[in-house]
Amino acid sequence: DGIVTLSEVKRTYYLGEPVHALDEVSLSLPEGSFTAVMGPSGSGKSTLMNMVGCLDTPDDGTVTVNGQDVGALSDGKRARLRGSELGFIFQQFNLLPRLTAAENVTLPMVFQNVVGESRRDRAKTLLTRVGLGDRLDHTPPELSGGQRQRVAIARALVNEPSVILADEPTGNLDTETGSEIMELFAELHDDGSTILMVTHERHIAEHADRIIHLVDGQIEEIEHVTENPPVQ
């Protein structure tokens, strides 16, 4: 059904007392959906992202990505699934500061069968798509925060991921720049991308189709975001 599914996923940490970071969470991300995750600190947002991101596996229950049972894979296969099916966008951008925008975008292609010249072409196409066609040879320190996040988005798209995972993508940006980045997310969504995004900001979450509210490792509510009424 979903590109990503969680079925009664449990993840418990033992710090003297057991902490149920995820407590029987079930969730499906349909293809093309845009889901936001909100919740207080310690509610399980990072643990959920690590599960879907194939960095962690459940103690109980099942996570699937593109039909593959993540918990049943070897570490190597899980890493490969992560590289081929998932695109990551972070609060701190996580770009390599000495590489140009084009080189940062090219990096994930190095382990794929993409030859040198077409890598550069592909980086150029993607950077143009995010509005940075004229910044290919700039390094991150030469770019604004919003531009850096655009480079990171281009990098996340490079292997045509099934799912884009965004962890506080606007957390380091001012309000206006954050809104511009959300407009870019809306375009990706319109183009059919499946997106899972953690945010603390309500107005950012409202760009998604639905908002998952996590509390104490459980889904407290799934809120469907109603479309804004059409402008008269």
Residues forming contacts to ligand ADP in the complex (CB under 6 A) are 13, 15, 19, 21, 39, 41-47
Nearest to ligand ADP of 41, 228 (CB atom): 41
* Tokens representing residue 23 in the block: 């407590």
Q: Report, in Å, the least distance between residue 59 CB and ligand ADP.
A: 12
Residue type, 48: L
Closer by beta carbon to ligand ADP, 6 or else 154? 6
CB-CB contact of 222 with 211 (8 Å) = yes
Residues 6+ apart with CB under 8 A from 225: 205, 206, 208, 209, 210, 211
C-beta of 2: minimal distance to ligand ADP in Å?
Answer: 21
The least CB distance from residue 47 to ligand ADP, in Å, is 3
* 126: helix, strand or coil: helix
CA distances from 116 to 19, 105, 123, 127, 139 (A): 48, 13, 11, 17, 20
Min. distance of Cβ 165 from ligand ADP in angstroms? Answer: 13
Q: Which residue, 47 or 162, is less far from ligand ADP as judged by CB? A: 47
**Smaller CB separation from ligand ADP, 61 or 124:** 61
Nearer residue to ligand ADP within complex by CB, 30 or 40: 40
- Note the helical H segments in the chain: 45-52, 75-85, 101-106, 116-129, 145-157, 175-190, 202-205
Least CB distance to ligand ADP at residue 217 (A): 7
